[in-house]
Amino acid sequence: MKWMAAIVCALVANVCLAQSEGSFRPASTNVWDAQYPRIDDAGRVQVRVQAPDATKVRLNFWNGPKIDMQKQSDGFWTVTTDPLVPGFHYYTVVIDGADVADPGSHAFFGGSRHASAVEIPEPGSTYYSIQDVPHGQVREVWYHSKITGSWRHALVYLPPGYDSQTTTRYPVLYLQHGGGEDETGWIRQGRANVILDNLIAAREAEPMIVVMAYGYARRAGEAPPDAAAMTFGSPQMLKAMQDMASTFEDDMTQALIPFIDKTFRTLTDRDNRAMAGLSMGGMQTFHITLRHLDLFSHIGGFSGAGGLLAPGSGKFDPKTDYNGVFADPAAFARQVHVLWLGVGTAENERFLAGLRGLHEGLNAAGIKHVYVESQGTDHEWQTWRRALQDYAPRLFKSRKARS
């Protein structure tokens, strides 16, 4: 009867294991049918990778813990984390020193490379979840730029009804990614299309076209900068950033915007054109829009180092900064319908202090604007999703999409 007892014990053990792991489920960011990584309602993550010949495996969350994984008898390494904050978490697995992606997760481009990620849902938040509402479409486009001498790629969100309402023209939001990311980020990580679908269905935002372009650019014939000299804050790095900003400015104003206006049914006047971006994209937004107020009337900076662009002491001077566009508050208000700034309260002091400083300087100068702090979020997609959710409903209220 010993064999019977063994079977009973095995069954009991399996039941107990199932009960202990029953609350875990595959993450929404997994590849088809992958059971790991898994998450539970508390925000814990279970990761399981096969590396039978490895001697050490670590789980490496980019903005979170680095945890040693435990080797199992079947050659798999496993770990269960403490609860993570809601949002989108990049991670890799370090196998005997080699930093690799988890084959169970889709790959997302961030930090200048593809990496794995896990999504921890924010309790009670549905604004970036797919709902039973009409959905727009995201299309890929290629346009040739004489500025860069190359074909360049962009993603374009077209609102619900775009194909059926064939005489209607729409306002346009140019929405930029951050440093180390690309034009896919706002869709794949940020869920911008889902956020817009839900806002438009609820009649909280105007139907609009959203253009997400690749933010890195080099002039035709220009040699790449010396990578060995690209230390953070070096004169070479600062010059490379300035050159790229100037090139992208020309690409957007001379190539991308004309292409979008020619290809899609857009409202082409400045009152129906907006720009916003996260981090580096926020810097690009300030750089471009405040030099081209003939093209833009809505401006948004999401953790976007706008306050750090001021020269000299870094303190905001409305008479001189940004070519003096803030010198006359009344004139600025007539030109700019929405000036929006936002940052996460858990962000690096460089971003937090920069945006707070710009906000305070704008207040002191009498410049009308919106300033929002995302409570408890870092320099991450949850901050920027919330930013888009607040920014988009404020756009194009003075003029509707028209036939």
How many other CB atoms are there within 10 angstroms of residue 133's CB atom? 13
Summarize the chain as % helix, strand, coil (round to 5): 30, 25, 45
How confident is the model at residue 318, as a pLDDT? 83
Per residue in 122-133, pLDDT tens?
A: 999 999 999 999
Residues 68, 170 within the same domain: no
Structurally, the chain folds into a number of domains equal to 2
Is there a domain that residue 401 lies in?
Answer: no
Is there a domain that residue 131 lies in?
Answer: no
Query: Tokens representing 41?
Result: 């309602």
Is there a domain that residue 241 lies in?
Answer: yes
How many other CB atoms are there within 10 angstroms of residue 220's CB atom? 11
Is there a domain that residue 161 lies in?
Answer: yes
349 pLDDT tier (thresholds 50, 70, 90): confident
Residue 249 has pLDDT above 50, yes or no: yes
16 pLDDT tier (thresholds 50, 70, 90): very low
Residues 260-287 have a mean pLDDT of 96
Assign residue 51 the CATH number of its domain.
2.60.40.10
How confident is the model at residue 277, as a pLDDT? 97
Assign residue 384 the CATH number of its domain.
3.40.50.1820
* 311 upstream amide cis, omega within 30 of 0: no
Residues 232, 145 within the same domain: yes
Is there a domain that residue 13 lies in?
Answer: no
Residues 112, 180 within the same domain: no
Note the residue count of the chain.
Answer: 403
- Site of tokens 């004139």: 331
How confident is the model at residue 250, as a pLDDT? 97
Residues 106, 142 within the same domain: no
Which whole-number Å values give the CA distances from 191 to 109, 270, 374, in the listed order? 14, 26, 17
Residues 199-209 have a mean pLDDT of 98
What single string gives the DSSP state of each residue in 212-266?
Answer: EE------TTPPPP-GGG--TT-HHHHHHHHHHHHHHHHHIIIIIHHHHHHHS-B
Last residue of a domain, one of 72, 93, 120: 120
Is there a domain that residue 15 lies in?
Answer: no
Residues 148, 32 within the same domain: no
Q: For residues 314 and 30, what is the distance between their CA atoms, to the nearest angstrom?
A: 43
What is the reported pTM?
Answer: 0.90
7 pLDDT tier (thresholds 50, 70, 90): very low
Residues 83, 217 within the same domain: no
Residues 318-329 have a mean pLDDT of 86
Is there a domain that residue 247 lies in?
Answer: yes
Nearest-5° angle of CA 336, CA 342, CA 343? 155
Burial 22-33 (b: 16+ CB within 10 A, else e): eebebbebbeee
Residue 13 has pLDDT above 60, yes or no: no
How confident is the model at residue 154, as a pLDDT? 98
Residue 28 has pLDDT above 70, yes or no: yes
398 pLDDT tier (thresholds 50, 70, 90): confident
Residues 282, 154 within the same domain: yes
Last residue of a domain, one of 69, 92, 120: 120
Residue 81 has pLDDT above 60, yes or no: yes
Residue 270 has pLDDT above 60, yes or no: yes
Strands in 38-39's sheet, in edge-to-edge order, are: 25-26, 38-39, 45-50, 76-80, 70-71
Is there a domain that residue 171 lies in?
Answer: yes
| pLDDT: which is higher, 317 or 335 | 335
Residues 255, 381 within the same domain: yes
User: 201 lies in which domain range?
Assistant: 137-394
Residues 86, 218 within the same domain: no
Q: For residues 359 and 342, what is the distance between their CA atoms, to the nearest angstrom?
A: 9
Question: Is the separation of the CB atoms in 293 and 335 below 8 Å?
Answer: yes
First to last CA, the chain: 83
Query: Tokens representing 49?
Result: 């990778």
Question: Is the separation of the CB atoms in 267 and 171 below 8 Å?
Answer: yes
Question: Is the separation of the CB atoms in 170 and 157 below 8 Å?
Answer: no
Per residue in 87-141, pLDDT tens?
A: 999 999 999 999 999 999 999 999 899 999 999 999 999 999 999 999 999 999 9
Last residue of a domain, one of 53, 85, 120: 120
Residues 164, 197 within the same domain: yes
Residues 254, 334 within the same domain: yes
Residues whose CB is less than 8 angstroms from the CB of residue 163 and which lie 6 or more positions away in sequence, other chains included: 137
Residues 337, 249 within the same domain: yes
222 pLDDT tier (thresholds 50, 70, 90): confident
Residue 310 has pLDDT above 70, yes or no: no
- CA atoms within a 13 Å half-sphere pointing along the CA-CB vector of 24: 19
Question: From its phi and psi, is residue 115 left (phi > 0), alpha (psi between -120 and 50) or beta?
Answer: beta
